[in-house]
């Protein structure tokens, strides 16, 4: 949408009230930011067991449905952050592992950001630009459309196939393809067709669905600790911004555009790292984290059974019920990993 807004503003407001089109971009972006910032007080529902009272659209029925979904998937209820939870989170390896994995996936796919600089650099034999300013802003909209569609496709496939890690690896493999093509093109432009360069930029948009899968997988990995999940997501996102604030200037300097010396090669290394880390996390999950999930799920189901009077209404023994609970939780835990 940002590309479409830039095109519309540049074409219609340039020179209006004495302001250049790029100045109007800042004015309109500021208005949108303030409006949606205020709307957040009324639109963000907060926690299902402690909903935002100003979120008028979030009914009690929605809260009940959310809590039932947590119970159905053996998730512990959200609770207030505590110092004990902070210490517990940062004393484990998961927070650091997930943060590095997330940062690697985002930075590995970062080449698509510079699509417009590539378009802007193209010249006709007479030195004139191949694409106008409006076209430079409009063409990447096609990539944005691909991104929207494939984020949904990756998410739906993840739930349908009941897997996270395989689709993260699949996106990494796809991401390696444009990295190889562009690494060759930036060093030997004549050896790669320009159509392959266009295709590479668009292919990059296929790999922007890793973040939802990583955070969904995180929820599967530690369902018993909502405090840790919240902190880990925050650390991962903050870590990405902290790293990208300086690294991208070094790796993707605008003065080198579009023939970056190290940009695509570094992205290739990051995608390989993502594959290695994802496979390693899958192994660790099955070997070490699964028993903790089984214990957490058994505790939750047993507590729910007691609350519903299940133990008094069924002739089954405690051993039979525990066996059924364990099989149910194990099937769910393995399926969503």
Q: Tell me the per-residue pLDDT of 237-274, one tens digit each, with 9 for 90 and over.
A: 999 999 999 998 999 999 999 999 999 999 999 999 99
Calpha distance 272→8 (Å, rounded): 39
Beta-bridge partners for 50: 47
Domains of the chain, each with CATH number or no CATH: 1-65 (no CATH), 86-271 (1.20.1250.20)
Mean predicted lDDT score pLDDT of the chain = 87
Q: pLDDT category, 10, cuts 50, 70, 90?
A: confident
Question: What is the CB neighbour count within 10 angstroms for residue 63?
Answer: 16
Q: pLDDT category, 206, cuts 50, 70, 90?
A: very high
**Least confident span in 123-127, 212-216, 294-298, 326-330:** 326-330
Question: What is the CB neighbour count within 10 angstroms for residue 18?
Answer: 6
For residue 130, the SS3 value is coil
Q: pLDDT category, 311, cuts 50, 70, 90?
A: very low
Q: pLDDT category, 305, cuts 50, 70, 90?
A: low
Residue 335 scores a pLDDT above 60 = no
Residue 302 scores a pLDDT above 70 = no
Identify the pLDDT of residue 303: 58
Identify the pLDDT of residue 297: 60
For residue 87, count CB atoms less than 10 angstroms from its CB and return exposed for 0-12, middle for 13-18, buried for 19 or more: exposed
The DSSP string of 52-71 is -TT-TT--HHHHHHHHHHHH
pLDDT top residue among 279 and 79: 279
pLDDT top residue among 317 and 17: 17
Residue 329 scores a pLDDT above 70 = no
pLDDT, average across residues 108-126? 94
Q: pLDDT category, 299, cuts 50, 70, 90?
A: low
> What's the DSSP call for residue 77?
P
Whether the upstream peptide bond of residue 258 has omega within 30° of 0, thus cis, is yes
DSSP H or E run through 239: helix 226-251
Beta-bridge partners for 180: none
The pTM of the whole model exceeds 0.75: yes
**Least confident span in 89-103, 208-222, 319-333:** 319-333
pLDDT, average across residues 127-144? 90
Q: At how many degrees (to 10) do helices 290-307 and 318-335 cross?
A: 130
* Tokens, residue 152: 């949904």
> What's the DSSP call for residue 336?
T
Residue 140 scores a pLDDT above 60 = yes
Report pLDDT digits (tens) over 149-192: 999 999 999 999 999 999 999 999 999 999 999 999 999 999 99
**Least confident span in 3-12, 76-85, 211-220:** 3-12
* Tokens, residue 90: 């940062």
Residue 319 scores a pLDDT above 90 = no
**Least confident span in 19-33, 166-180, 188-202, 231-245:** 19-33
């Amino acid at each position: 949408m940002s590309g479409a807004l830039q095109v519309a503003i540049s074409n219609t407001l340039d020179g209006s009230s004495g302001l250049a089109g790029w100045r109007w971009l800042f004015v309109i972006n500021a208005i949108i930011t303030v409006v949606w910032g205020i709307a957040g007080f009324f639109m963000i529902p907060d926690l299902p067991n402690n909903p935002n009272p100003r979120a008028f659209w979030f009914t009690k029925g929605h809260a009940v449905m959310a809590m039932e979904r947590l119970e159905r998937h053996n998730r512990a209820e959200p609770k207030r952050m505590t110092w004990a939870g902070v210490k517990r989170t940062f004393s484990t390896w998961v927070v650091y592992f997930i943060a590095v994995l997330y940062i690697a996936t985002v930075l590995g796919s970062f080449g698509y950001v510079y699509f417009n600089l590539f378009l802007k650099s193209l010249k006709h034999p007479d030195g004139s630009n191949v694409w106008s300013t409006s076209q430079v802003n409009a063409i990447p909209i096609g990539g944005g459309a691909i991104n929207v569609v494939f984020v949904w496709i990756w998410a739906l496939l993840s739930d349908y196939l009941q897997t996270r890690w395989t689709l993260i690896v699949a996106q990494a493999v796809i991401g390696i393809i444009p990295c190889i093509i562009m690494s060759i093109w930036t060093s030997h432009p004549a050896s790669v067709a320009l159509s392959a360069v266009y295709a590479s930029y668009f292919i990059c948009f296929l790999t922007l669905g890793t973040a939802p899968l990583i955070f969904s997988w995180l929820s599967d990995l530690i369902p018993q600790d909502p405090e840790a999940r919240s902190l880990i997501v925050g650390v991962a996102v903050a870590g990405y911004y902290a790293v990208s604030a300086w690294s991208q200037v070094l790796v993707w300097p605008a003065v080198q555009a579009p023939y970056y010396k190290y940009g695509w090669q570094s992205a290739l290394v990051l995608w390989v790292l993502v594959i290695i880390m994802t496979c390693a996390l899958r192994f660790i999950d099955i070997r070490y984290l699964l028993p903790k999930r089984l214990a957490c799920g058994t505790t939750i189901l047993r507590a729910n059974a007691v609350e519903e009077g299940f133990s008094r209404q069924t002739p089954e023994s405690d051993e039979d019920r525990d066996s059924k609970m364990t099989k149910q939780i194990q099937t769910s835990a393995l399926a969503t990993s």
